[in-house]
């Protein structure tokens, strides 16, 4: 974790900060979701508590904490109470592996703006986030309720089906960049779009070198599959209010339900961050490499090298967050725009449409890399 | 106690405890959940050994597979019969003792046959092993080894998985699932 006490403690605090960043983004997202849905449906939304209704979620959290803590009579108590706690873990662990800015160099220390840098970033994220399905099954089975169990079974079938398309759509990206490391992937997207095909070098004058221009199909499949993974509309069959009341969290109230909420939003954030990292240049600022940004900051704004380093990191962090926020907004917009799928449509889409296309994309990418580049 | 040793014992407790729970629990659902703990524990062991890629694959493949097992348990088993079948009876008792014997033999055999293979000097003797120990190498080397030297085993495993899938479909289509009477 570091070579001396200072570096180790900074890295430890960083992990806590990333967790808090994820958890604290949830109230803002819920506010955005409620106000956004109201905007889409021509209503007002929460606008009474605090400026623009921003404090509404704080009030809600206090209310949730004060609610009676109960478990149904037929519930399996251990699983029932463990499920909401485990719901937080996968998304948090996976989110820690996302690089959010250029490494910050202060003196002899270099701090990465990410929880931990792993050579197998993608494999780790896929593996950890696949554990999320268990919390849903634990909740569904532990509640001792038929609706919960049906919701949990639907969720597990859905997650198993869409994980295939999700994983296969990433294979194209891995082949393109030739690495599992997320930071290396981001670095590979620097500068303007430029590639070599059949001996000719093609250079565009204004398109950034982002993954989406190489792998548009993978981007679409990946984004659609992440909707299914995070159980949001149009794929929220697990909750389907019309037929299952609220699916796997029928029996949950108060803060336990809120923890499922945080887990769901965590998956949404993870999906947005991965979209940005794979297809939209990660923390990079378009038309500028970290070096040019650093020299510009150093020449025009701040004299001291440490200050310039900090400001460069901050600028890239803001760049990452702007892209990140755009995708979070798309998640919210889609949720309030599209209706829910029917169950057979969901399975058809997963197995008969997205899986073959993702496989085709993998083969096509491999062929192009082998024969053309 | 160094962090490594602490981690080792913690993970050992989690993994072995999960493994024991898999066979000691009477309810198949709890067994499946305990299996998840075992799998995650083994993945963590791989991480402490520096084999990150295998750890990730362990999580994706095995954790995902247990997920399917969980669903199978829920959909195909009659939980009450299953609990009754695994709690009492001379036959299941004999079966348990037999399985413990076989497992114990396997473990003793594995320990006896692997004596010497954990020697640190082996890496220096064998350049391939030494190369695979650098932090960046494993994935690429693993891929090359899988698709050249071990291609037959790799493909055979693929066929085996296909057979399992076909068998599952055949089983689930027969009336009564695993409890079908001929």
- The residue in chain B having the minimum alpha-carbon distance to the alpha carbon of residue A120 is B53
> Does residue B15 contact residue B42 with C-beta atoms inside 8 Å?
yes
Q: Flag whether pLDDT at B142 surpasses 80.
A: no
Residue A1 clears pLDDT 80, i.e. is over it: no
Task: Suggest the residue from B37, B59, B79, B138 to mutate for an interface test with chain A (most A CBs closer than 10 A).
Answer: B59
What is d(CA A189, CA A206) in angstroms, rounded to the nearest whole number? 14
Q: Kindly compute the dihedral angle of the four CA atoms of residues A337, A343, A346, A348, in this order, to the nearest 10 degrees.
A: -140
At residue A183, the pLDDT reads 86
- Cβ pair A131:B136 closer than 8 A: no
Would you place residue B176 in the very low, low, confident or very high pLDDT band (cuts 50, 70, 90)? low
H or E segment at A202? strand A200-208
Which of B43, B52, B63 lies nearest to residue A118, judging by beta carbons? B52
Complete DSSP assignment for A211-258: GGGT-HHHHHHHHHHHHHHTT-TTS-TTT-HHHHTTGGGTT--HHHHH
Give residue A48's pLDDT band: very low, low, confident or very high (50, 70, 90): confident
Question: Residue A304: what are its φ and ψ, rounded to 5°?
Answer: -70, 135
Q: pLDDT of A197-224, one tens digit each?
A: 777 777 777 788 888 888 889 999 999 8
**Contact status, residue A309 vs residue A360, Cβ threshold 8 Å:** no
- Identity of the residue in B60, B71, B75 whose CB atom sits nearest the CB atom of A130: B60
CA distance A44 to A50: 14
Interchain contact, B33 vs A163, CB within 8 Å: no
* Per-residue pLDDT, B180: 52
pTM of the model: 0.82
Residue A2: per-residue pLDDT:
65
pLDDT at B179 over 60: no
B63 touches chain A (CB under 8 A): yes
Residue ranges covered by each domain of chain A: 67-371
Mean pLDDT of chain A: 84
Return d(Cα B180, Cα A180) in angstroms, integer: 46
Optimal mutation site among B18, B52, B66, B161, interface A, most CBs of chain A within 10 A: B52
Please indicate whether, in this complex, the C-beta atoms of B36 and A118 are within 8 angstroms of each other: no
CA A69 to each of CA A65, A257, B59, B107: distance values in angstroms, whole numbers, following the listed order: 9, 11, 33, 46
Q: Which of B29, B36, B58 sits opposite A141 (nearest CB)?
A: B29
CB B52 within 8 A of CB B46: yes
Closest Cβ–Cβ partner in A79, A130, A180 for B59: A130
Q: What is the pLDDT of residue A93?
A: 86
Which residues of chain B have a CB within 8 Å of the CB of A165?
Answer: none
Q: In whole angstroms, what is the distance from residue A345 CA to residue A224 CA?
A: 14
Q: Smallest Cβ distance to B64: which of A130, A138, A180?
A: A130
> For residue A357, what pLDDT is reported?
92
Tokens of A248: 């796997």
Q: A109-111 and A200-208: which strand pairing?
A: unpaired
Which domains does chain B show, CATH number per domain? Answer: 1-77 (1.20.120.1200)
Please, which pLDDT band fits residue A116 given cuts at 50, 70 and 90? confident
**Per-residue pLDDT tens for B36-90?**
888 888 888 888 887 778 888 888 888 777 777 776 666 666 666 666 666 666 6
- Determine the average pLDDT of the residues in A125-136: 83
Confidence of residue A363 (pLDDT cuts 50, 70, 90): very high
CB < 8 Å from B in window 68-87 of A: 79
What average pLDDT does chain B have? 76
CA-to-CA separations, A353 to A224, A289, A338, A357, in angstroms, rounded: 12, 38, 19, 6
- Decide if B56 and A127 are in contact by the 8 Å CB cutoff: yes
Comparison of pLDDT for B141 and A148, the residue scoring more: A148
Residue B65: exposure state from Cβ atoms within 10 A (0-12, 13-18, ≥19): middle
C-alpha gyration radius of chain B: 20
Q: Is A141 on the interface with B (CB under 8 A)?
A: yes
pLDDT given for residue A360 in this prediction? 92
- Phi, psi at residue A340, to the nearest 5°? -75, 145
* pLDDT over threshold 70, residue A43: yes
A163 min Cα distance to partner chain B (Å) = 9
Euclidean distance between the first and the last CA atom of chain B, given in angstroms as a whole number:
59
Name the phi and psi angles at A208, rounded to 5: -70, 160
CB A232 within 8 A of CB A270: no
Q: Which residues contact B137 (CB under 8 A, 6 or more apart)?
A: B131
CB spacing of A123 vs B33 below 8 angstroms:
no
**DSSP conformation class of B22:** H
Average pLDDT over residues A14-31: 87
Question: Using one digit for the tens of pLDDT, what is the confidence trace for A231-287?
Answer: 877 887 777 777 777 777 778 877 888 888 888 888 889 999 999 999 888 888 888
How many CA atoms lie within 13 Å of B133's alpha carbon, on the beta-carbon side?
11
Which residue in chain B has the smallest CA separation from A94? B56
Following CA atoms A124, A129, A132, A133 in sequence, which dihedral angle do they give, to the nearest 10 degrees? -100
Contacting A residues, span 249-308, partner chain B, CB-CB under 8 Å:
none
Q: What is the mean pLDDT of residues A128-139?
A: 82
* pLDDT the model gives residue A124: 85
Touching A: B residues 16-55, CB under 8 Å: 29, 33, 36, 40, 43, 52-53, 55
Q: How many Å apart are CA A167 and CA A159, to the nearest integer?
A: 12
- Considering only residues B137 and A160, tell me which one the structure prediction assigns the higher pLDDT: A160
State the best of A134, A145, A160, A162 to mutate against chain B, taking most chain B CBs within 10 Å.
A134
- B135 in contact with chain A, both atoms CB, cutoff 8 A: yes
A150 CB burial (10 A radius; 0-12, 13-18, 19+): buried
Residue B63 to residue A127, Cβ atoms within 8 A: yes
Closest-CA distance, A206 to chain B, in angstroms, reads 34
* CB spacing of A160 vs B29 below 8 angstroms: no
Rounded to a whole number of angstroms, the distance from the CA of B175 to the nearest CA of chain A is: 21
Instruction: Output b/e per residue, A351-369; b: 16+ Cβ within 10 A.
Output: eeebbebbeebbeebeeee
Number of Cα atoms under 13 Å in the Cβ half of residue A25: 20
For the stretch B97-126, pLDDT in tens is 888 899 899 988 888 877 666 555 555 556
**How far is Cα A174 from Cα A177, in angstroms, rounded to an integer?**
5
The share of chain A scoring above pLDDT 70, in percent, equals: 99
């Amino acid at each position: 974790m570091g070579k001396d006490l200072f570096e180790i403690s900074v890295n430890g605090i960083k992990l806590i900060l990333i967790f808090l960043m994820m958890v604290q983004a949830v109230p803002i997202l819920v506010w955005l979701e409620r106000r956004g849905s109201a905007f889409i449906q021509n209503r007002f939304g929460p606008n009474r508590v605090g400026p623009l209704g921003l404090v509404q979620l704080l009030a809600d959290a206090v209310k949730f904490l004060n609610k009676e803590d109960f478990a149904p009579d037929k519930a399996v108590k251990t699983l029932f109470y463990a499920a909401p706690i485990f719901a937080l873990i996968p998304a948090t662990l996976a989110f820690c592996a996302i690089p959010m800015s250029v490494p910050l160099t202060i003196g002899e220390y270099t701090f990465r703006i990410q929880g931990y840098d792993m050579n197998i970033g993608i494999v780790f994220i896929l593996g950890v986030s696949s554990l999320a399905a268990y919390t849903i099954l634990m909740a569904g089975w532990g509640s001792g309720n038929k609706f919960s169990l049906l919701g949990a079974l639907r969720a597990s079938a859905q997650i198993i089906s869409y994980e295939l398309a999700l994983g296969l759509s990433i294979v194209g990206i891995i082949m393109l960049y030739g690495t599992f490391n997320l930071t290396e992937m981001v670095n590979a997207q620097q500068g303007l779009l430029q590639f070599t095909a059949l001996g000719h070098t093609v250079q565009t004058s204004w398109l950034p070198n982002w993954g989406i221009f190489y792998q548009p199909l993978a981007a679409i499949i990946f984004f659609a599959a992440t909707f299914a993974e995070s159980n949001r509309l149009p794929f929220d069959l697990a909750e389907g209010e019309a037929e299952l009341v609220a699916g796997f969290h029928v029996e949950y109230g108060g803060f336990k339900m809120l923890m499922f909420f945080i887990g769901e939003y965590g998956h949404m954030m993870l999906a947005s961050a991965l979209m940005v990292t794979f297809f939209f240049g990660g923390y990079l600022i378009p038309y500028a490499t970290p070096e040019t940004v650093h020299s510009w900051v150093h020449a025009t704004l701040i004299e001291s090298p440490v200050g310039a380093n900090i400001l460069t990191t901050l600028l890239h962090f803001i760049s990452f967050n702007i892209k990140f926020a755009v995708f979070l907004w798309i998640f919210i917009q889609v949720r309030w725009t599209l209706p829910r799928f029917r169950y057979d449509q969901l399975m058809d889409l997963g197995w008969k449409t997205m899986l073959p296309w993702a496989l085709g994309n993998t083969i096509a990418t491999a062929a192009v890399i082998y024969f053309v580049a | 106690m160094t962090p490594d040793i602490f981690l080792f014992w913690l993970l050992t407790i989690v993994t072995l405890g999960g493994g024991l729970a898999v066979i000691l629990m009477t309810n198949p659902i709890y067994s499946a959940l305990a299996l998840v703990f075992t799998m995650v524990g083994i993945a963590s062991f791989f991480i402490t050994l520096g084999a990150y890629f295998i750890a990730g694959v362990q999580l994706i493949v095995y954790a995902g597979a247990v997920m399917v097992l969980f669903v199978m348990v829920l959909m195909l088993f009659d939980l009450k019969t299953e609990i009754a079948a695994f709690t009492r009876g001379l036959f299941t008792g004999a079966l348990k003792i037999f399985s413990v014997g076989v497992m114990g033999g396997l473990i003793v055999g594995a320990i006896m046959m692997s004596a010497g293979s954990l020697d640190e000097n082996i890496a220096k003797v064998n350049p391939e092993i030494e190369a695979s120990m650098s932090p960046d190498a494993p994935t690429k080397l693993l891929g090359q080894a899988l698709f050249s030297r071990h291609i037959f085993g790799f493909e055979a495993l693929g066929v085996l998985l296909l057979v399992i899938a076909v068998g599952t479909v055949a089983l689930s289509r027969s009336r009564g699932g695993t409890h079908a009477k001929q």
